[in-house]
Structure 1
């Protein structure tokens, strides 16, 4: 599909409602060696909404999420076919700078993974690599703003020199979110960001997702259907590598179009 076709496709959602679309994937296939993990997936990621990927374990939702910032490039034997575009740019084009792509499309992983550095240096790491601060003062401003957006500033402002690994699990995950947004991304990908957290920390991450919505395009993989219903406006249901259904979250949970979606949502399998 050429760029104009992508632009035309991105002007409407699957339901026909005009939307500002940040990323478009068309007919994406992913292989790990001879095994096909993703089969012909096409989807649009809106700019100002949260899109949830749901489905049983091993259905391909995390694999597909990782195609959106080329994290599968790091997996030996992985191969991606199809078209994925960010603002019309082919992210798999040979001319695409992958380091810059991952700054534009940040990733927050299932298990919090702060660097073994201070809280300040965890957040400053990306801006320093990308040359986003011309002075110590500018860097301090970026760190403070990122921690505030991640809902962590008030808890750590007096201990910025402490190790990021000394924080609680929920705080570490918010630190990782602050680290992701410090480079001013356009998209944030979250791969089950609450699965390792307790209910209180989970609630804080969900509240943060609500606050970040509109500032960034967000795609989140979750095994928790109630969480998908709480945080997202669009939901994609994956099963056995296929995208079975994609649409408005409230509509999917109350009136799914596909029998497989209904069976999963009502707990018949999963």
Structure 2
């Protein structure tokens, strides 16, 4: 086996929604991500796996410029969304984050009602003409997030009063309410119990194809269950990227095999 391997190119029927080329991330003088190139398709769920501190979450945050919020962070290389360079000076970062939504590790609903959590994004982006249209957006988003039946009679209750799993689905509803093109999920189940985790995984399956989805996970079984393509990161580098079934059953790189078989991680 080789030490690293080039990513398998996407087939024509799975055209890239986003492409990253030679992307490196620095925190001051420290290089956290080293020259990552990857294609992310509309039709597949892509999982980023690897041990703690390997750069997978740092790279995920480059995809909607969340690293911009860190004072000493610097990104080199190119990331393109539908042909647009997202780091171009003319790129509207607020609009970018509406197009590329983020769901974080810990559920973080706003201290507002369930309704207002979902309505917040459409309101600031001017996506609704009046209350009736906003009601439709809120209902549709909660239905897509698999939460509507559980909360439809208490939309004015605080979002923070929901269970952990419900809060995470509320955050997903909030992300999709602005009709994004890509959803980034940074370990969305790590703080949840097994039942809530299963519900989020079901939701990922249901959302697949409607949005390009990228999930960072430490749980290799979860990556195998929810994704069609998997990227293995180690020490800031993308070691191997390809079909999930191939990565888990026939990895081409020794480091990938060692991680998947539990020799480290």
User: TM-score, normalized by length of structure 2?
Assistant: 0.96
2:98 aligned counterpart, secondary structure:
helix
Q: Which has the higher contact order (CA 8 A, sep 6+)?
A: 2
Which residue does 1:94 correspond to in 2? 89
Which residue does 2:223 correspond to in 1? 228
1:82 aligned counterpart, secondary structure:
strand
Which residue does 2:57 correspond to in 1? 62
Which residue does 1:124 correspond to in 2? 119
**Unpaired segments ≥5 residues, structure 2:** 1-6
Distance 1:32 1:142 in 2: 39
Distance 1:129 1:15 in 2: 38
Which residue does 1:201 correspond to in 2? 196
Structure 1 residues 16 and 93: CA distance shift in structure 2, 3 A: closer
1:162 aligns with 2:157: yes
C-alpha RMSD of matched pairs (Å): 0.8
1:211 aligned counterpart, secondary structure:
helix
2:174 aligned counterpart, secondary structure:
helix
Shift of 1:48: 1.2
Distance 1:16 1:193 in 2: 26
**Unpaired segments ≥5 residues, structure 1:** 1-12
Q: Deviations over 1:160-214 (max 9, x none)?
A: 0000000000000000000000000000000000000000000000000000000
Shift of 1:62: 0.1
Structure 1 residues 107 and 16: CA distance shift in structure 2, 3 A: closer
Distance 1:212 1:15 in 2: 23
User: TM-score, normalized by length of structure 1?
Assistant: 0.95
Aligned residues: 258
Match of 2:176 among 172, 181, 191: 181
Structure 1 residues 244 and 108: CA distance shift in structure 2, 3 A: same
Structure 1 runs (4+) deviating above 6 angstroms are none
